[in-house]
Amino acid sequence: MPSPDRDKQITSLGKVLQISRDMVATSDLDELLGVIIDRSMELLEAERATLFLYDADSDELFSKIAAGAKEIRFSAGIGIAGAVVRSKQTLNISDAYADERFNRDVDRRTGFRTHNILAVPLLGYAGDLVGVLEVLNKQGGPFGDDDITLLETLAAQAGVVLQRARLLEHYVQKQRMEHALQIARQIQQDILPKENPQVEGFDVAGWSSPADETGGDVYDFLEIGGGRWTFTLADATGHGIGPALVVAEARAMLRALSAADLDIPVVMTRVNDLLTGDLSESRFVTCLFGLLDGPAGSVRYASAGQGPIIFYNRSEDKFDELPATTLPLGIIAGINFDEQVERQLAPGDMMALTTDGFFEATDRTGQQFGTERIRNILHRCRDLPAGEIIQNLHKEVFEFTGPVPQDDDLTAIIVKRTG
């Protein structure tokens, strides 16, 4: 005749099997955590259970769900759970406060009193640590050998199922992020000019290629009448979603303010003051904002940290590299933007603007592309259309860097006088 203990073991193992079925039935991580915690308390007749997931990158344990407590995050080097992380072995603590590894801070914060603890590691497919399951305060006394067997049996299933759920959650999050980045990239591409300006006596072209799905560079052209166009080349610090939002804001401000006031210093001052109020100390925007006057055959601009600005004089066959006229936008409010540069362009003359992604591009040895190479390409391609000149710049930077991934956004504007 079967003994009561034997009957109890069979019943408990049946419960473990049912819990395993319940775990497999869901792929939602939060729901799965809840199943494991609730069922382990029922199975071992305990007051509380906590499941700590292991973050290998930060070497931390954290609980998304803790039955009877708020979420907890701490270093994987402390506490009973930390000891399980290091050993990957089950720990049965009959008197928590008598064990020097026990972290009493959690009890102090929650008001709970821990008496005994049974803690087991949760391992994945290849034996890598997924987390730690702690069951606290067994009713009627400390945990016994049968409890250890049951919880280890449960943990063997839970670790693999949890690993699968976490991988699936990461995959879904990645897919959502990639979709969001695709939308952001499309929006950013949509705000770039659809075509280059048609200015009598000039050949003007712009182009941009982000290093990531979205970039921190932008260029813009805006017709203001009478054969005159504003042109902008801007570069927010970094690349990605954050800089893309910042540089889009700067472009919108420049457009809105230049429509109301064509005075370059006034527009730049207002944009700088607005950005300074919006941006954190670690962010700023380098920006060249200029006016191309077709009938007058001239360009006039102010440059907030964007440089060098390269001019080519065809009749003298020489280059000038001019620095920025003032500090970048968004650093200090109230900067004076009165300093402007005006250049008369004769037929064959050229103005070339590039963001630092061009001249700071590096090859596998760490050597930079530099502005001298840019000048050489401009000189060699001086008789080509503006768009083809930019294509040649990009082609030679690409060949120079070779297998090194594009590290920064690439954006350029060429303004060339044709007649």
Positions of the chain with pLDDT lower than 50, given as ranges: 1, 7, 10, 66-68
Amino acid at residue number 57: D
Taking the domain 4-168, which CATH number applies? 3.30.450.40
- Which residues have C-beta within 8 Å of that of residue 241, sequence separation ≥ 6? 181, 184, 214
Q: What is the pLDDT of residues 83-99, one digit of tens each?
A: 999 999 999 999 999 99
Cis peptide before 308 (omega within 30 of 0): yes
Helix (H) or strand (E) holding 47: strand 46-55
Sign of the alpha-carbon dihedral angle for 255, 261, 263, 266? negative
N- to C-terminal Cα separation, the chain: 109
Pick from 226, 215, 280: which is nearest to 251 by CA?
215
Comparing CA positions, the residue from 188, 220, 224, 226 lying closest to residue 204 is: 220
> What is the per-residue pLDDT across 201-225, written as a single tens digit (0 to 9) for each?
999 999 998 877 656 788 999 999 9
Rounded Cα distance between 185 and 198, Å, is 26
How many Å is the maximal CA-CA distance in the chain? Answer: 111
- Residue 319 is predicted with a pLDDT of 97
CB 53 within 8 A of CB 40: no
The 3-state DSSP class for residue 256 equals helix
- The phi and psi torsions of 316 (rounded to 5 degrees) equal -100, -5
Q: Are 89 and 80 in contact (CB under 8 A)?
A: no
- Report whether 157 contacts 13 (CB < 8 A): no
Strands 60-62 and 91-93: unpaired
**What's the confidence (pLDDT) of residue 4?**
52
At residue 296, the pLDDT reads 95
Residue whose pair of structure tokens reads 């799905």 in the numeric block = 213
Q: How distant is the alpha carbon of residue 149 from its chain centre?
A: 44
- What values do phi and psi take at 31, rounded to 5? -65, -40
Amino acid residing at 65: I
Would you mind telling me the total number of residues written for the chain in this entry? 419
Angle at 191 between CA 273 and CA 267, to 5 degrees: 25
CA quadruple 256, 257, 259, 261: dihedral, nearest 10: 170
Positive or negative torsion for Cα 134, 137, 142, 145:
negative
CA dist 160 and 270 (Å) reads 58
Q: Which pairing describes strands 350-354 and 309-313: parallel, antiparallel, or unpaired? A: antiparallel
Evaluate whether 308 touches 323 at the Cβ level (below 8 Å): yes
- Domain residue limits, the chain: 4-168, 191-417
Q: In the prediction, which pLDDT does 310 show? A: 97
Distance CA 50, CA 36 (A): 9
Percent of the chain past pLDDT 70, that is, above it, reads 87
Query: Is it true that domain 191-417 has CATH number 3.60.40.10?
Result: yes
pLDDT per residue as tens digits for the range 7-23:
455 455 555 555 555 55
Look up the pTM and report it.
0.63
Give me the pLDDT at residue 68, please. Answer: 47
